[in-house]
Amino acid sequence: MPDLSTTWLGLSLKSPLVVAASPLSREPDAVARAVDAGAGAVVMHSLFEEQLTHDQMAAHRFIDATVDLDAETQGIRPGARAFTVGVEPYLRELERIKRRVDVPVLASLNGTTPGGWTRYAKRLEEAGANALELNLYEVGGPEGETGAAVEARQLAVVQAVVQAVKLPVTVKLTPFYAALTAFVRDLETAGARGVAVFNRFYQPDILLDTLDVDRQLVPSTPAELPLRLHALARLSATTTLSLACTGGVHSGLDAAKAILSGAHVVQLASVLLEHGPQHVAVLQGELAGWLDGKGYKSSAEARGVLDLRSAPDPHAWERLNYTRMLDGWRARDSWRRKS
Ligand X SMILES: Cc1cc2nc3c(=O)[nH]c(=O)nc-3n(C[C@H](O)[C@H](O)[C@H](O)COP(=O)(O)O)c2cc1C
- Determine, following the binding rule CB under 6 A, whether residue 259 of this chain makes contact with ligand X: no
Residue 184 near residue 238 (C-beta atoms within 8 A) = yes
Q: Which of 6, 236, 270, 284 binds ligand X (CB under 6 A)?
A: 270
258 near ligand X, judged by CB under 6 A: no
> CB-based burial of residue 260 (10 Å sphere; 0-12 exposed, 13-18 middle, 19+ buried)?
buried
Say whether residue 249 binds ligand X (CB under 6 A). Answer: yes
CB nearer to ligand X: pick between 134 and 164? 134
- Is the backbone of residue 115 left (phi > 0), alpha (psi -120 to 50) or beta? left
Sole binder of ligand X in the list 16, 168, 248, 252 (CB under 6 A): 248
Q: Is 266 in the site for ligand X (CB under 6 A)?
A: no
Q: Residue 18: which of 311, 310, 337, 263 has the closest Cα?
A: 263
Specify the stretch interacting with ligand X by CB under 6 A; choose among 20-28, 55-63, 77-85, 138-146. Answer: 20-28
- Least gap, CB of 218 to ligand X (angstroms): 9
Applying CB under 6 A, does 51 fall inside the site for ligand X?
Answer: no
Identified binder of ligand X from the candidate list 10, 23, 89, 204, rule CB under 6 A? 23
Contact 251, 283 (CB under 8 A): yes
Q: Rule CB under 6 A: choose which of 33, 123, 172, 193 binds ligand X.
A: 172
> Rounded distance, CA 218 to CA 221, Å?
9
Q: Do 3 and 16 form a contact (C-beta atoms < 8 A)?
A: no
β partners of residue 243: 195
Is residue 118 near ligand X by the rule CB under 6 A?
no
How is residue 284 annotated by DSSP?
Answer: H
Task: Output 81 or 226, the one with its CB closest to ligand X.
Answer: 226
Q: Does 161 bind ligand X (CB under 6 A)?
A: no
Q: At closest approach, how far in Å is the CB of 135 from ligand X? A: 4
Please identify which residue in 110, 170, 242, 261 interacts with ligand X, judged by CB under 6 A: 110
Q: Interface with ligand X includes 45 (CB under 6 A)? A: yes
Does the footprint of ligand X cover residue 255 (CB under 6 A)?
A: no
Of the candidate residues 35, 107, 129, 268, the single one contacting ligand X (CB under 6 A): 268
200 binds ligand X (CB under 6 A): yes
Nearer to ligand X, 133 or 307 (CB): 133
Ordered DSSP codes for 199-265: PPP---EEETTTTEEE---PPP-GGGHHHHHHHHHHHHHH--SEEEEESS--SHHHHHHHHHHT-SE
Our finding on whether 279 is near ligand X (CB under 6 A) is no
The continuous run of DSSP H or E covering 7 comes out as strand 6-8
Alpha-helical segments (H) within 76-216: 87-100, 120-126, 147-164, 180-189
Asked whether position 264 contacts ligand X by CB under 6 A, the answer is no
- Rule CB under 6 A: is residue 108 a binding residue for ligand X? yes
Cβ atoms of 55 and 85 closer than 8 Å: yes
Per CB under 6 A, the list member of 15, 236, 242, 246 interacting with ligand X is 246
Residue 222: count of CB within 10 angstroms of its CB: 16
Binding site for ligand X (CB under 6 A): 20-23, 45-46, 108, 110, 135, 172, 200, 217, 220, 246-249, 268-271, 273
